[in-house]
């Protein structure tokens, strides 16, 4: 049936790639991707802020329904991030404490819900990564339809099954399977450049001359020569 199907995931980023990216600031990874990729400012960490990294197992479901999310929890491999596009609707919670604890027991890397959660106090007190768009006490339905392991999009950010998913206090980001090596190299270079700037700030010798140069280039008046 169209729109109601469970697909097999054909590829996923390796544990080595996940380890490389774990702990890198999402903002710096985003900068190296031309600041064009983002999961939307609404998707916030609902846990204690522990960073998240892992391969995506994607779910597209009808808003307010979590039948396919339950199935995804059984299919996911240790380290996987279950990424659920529930349309961003906040009327009904897609997951709560029980499903979160089940995900933890299976060794998953985190949950991303483009929709609402509940039992937020319990989730907030824990370190298991849960990102969501909002909170409501109203529970979900379990009727479908939905799909597992299909390409999804959240606020314009596409996520394919097996892509790298990252999250921290600044939000959520996906890195395409074929882009991880280039993005990692660029992010490492940015990390090194920022370390130099931080040292210059500490030493009181940071050169900010580029600001006036840029203003003059843009035709801003009143900039000292």
User: HSE-up of 218 (CA within 13 Å, CB side)?
Assistant: 9
Task: Please check if 80 is assigned to a binding site.
Answer: no
DSSP conformation letters of 90-143: -SSEEE-HHHHHHHHHTT--EEEEEEEES-HHHHHTS-S-EEEEEE-SPPPB--
Cβ contact 63:89 at 8 Å: yes
Task: Please check if 40 is assigned to a binding site.
Answer: no
Task: Please check if 99 is assigned to a binding site.
Answer: yes
Task: Please check if 98 is assigned to a binding site.
Answer: yes
Q: With 0-12 CB in 10 A as exposed, 13-18 as middle and 19+ as buried, what is 201? A: exposed
Task: Please check if 117 is assigned to a binding site.
Answer: no
Task: Please check if 81 is assigned to a binding site.
Answer: no
Cβ contact 165:55 at 8 Å: yes
Helix (H, G, I), strand (E, B) or coil at 58: strand
Instruction: List the binding residues.
Output: 96-99, 118-119
Instruction: List the binding residues for Mg(2+).
Output: 119
Instruction: List the binding residues for substrate.
Output: 96-99, 118
């Amino acid at each position: 049936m169209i729109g109601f199907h469970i697909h097999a995931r054909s590829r996923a980023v390796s544990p080595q790639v996940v380890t490389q990216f774990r702990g890198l600031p999402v903002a710096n990874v985003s900068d190296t991707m031309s600041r064009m990729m983002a999961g939307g400012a609404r998707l916030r960490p609902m846990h204690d802020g522990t960073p998240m990294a892992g391969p995506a197992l994607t779910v597209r479901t009808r808003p307010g329904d979590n039948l396919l999310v339950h199935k995804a929890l059984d299919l996911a491999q240790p380290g996987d991030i279950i990424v659920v596009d529930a349309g961003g609707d906040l009327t009904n919670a897609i997951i709560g404490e029980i499903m979160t604890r089940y995900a933890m027991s299976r060794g998953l890397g985190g949950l991303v819900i483009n929709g609402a959660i509940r039992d937020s106090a319990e989730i907030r007190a824990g370190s298991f990564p849960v990102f969501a768009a909002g909170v409501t006490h109203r529970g979900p339905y379990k009727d479908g339809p939905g799909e597992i392991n299909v390409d999804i999009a959240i606020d314009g950010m596409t996520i394919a099954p097996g892509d790298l998913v990252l999250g921290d206090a600044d939000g959520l980001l996906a890195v395409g399977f074929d882009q991880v090596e280039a993005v990692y190299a660029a992010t490492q270079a940015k990390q090194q450049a920022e370390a130099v700037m931080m040292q210059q700030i500490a030493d009181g010798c940071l050169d900010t001359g580029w600001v006036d140069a840029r203003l003059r280039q843009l035709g801003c008046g009143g900039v000292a020569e």
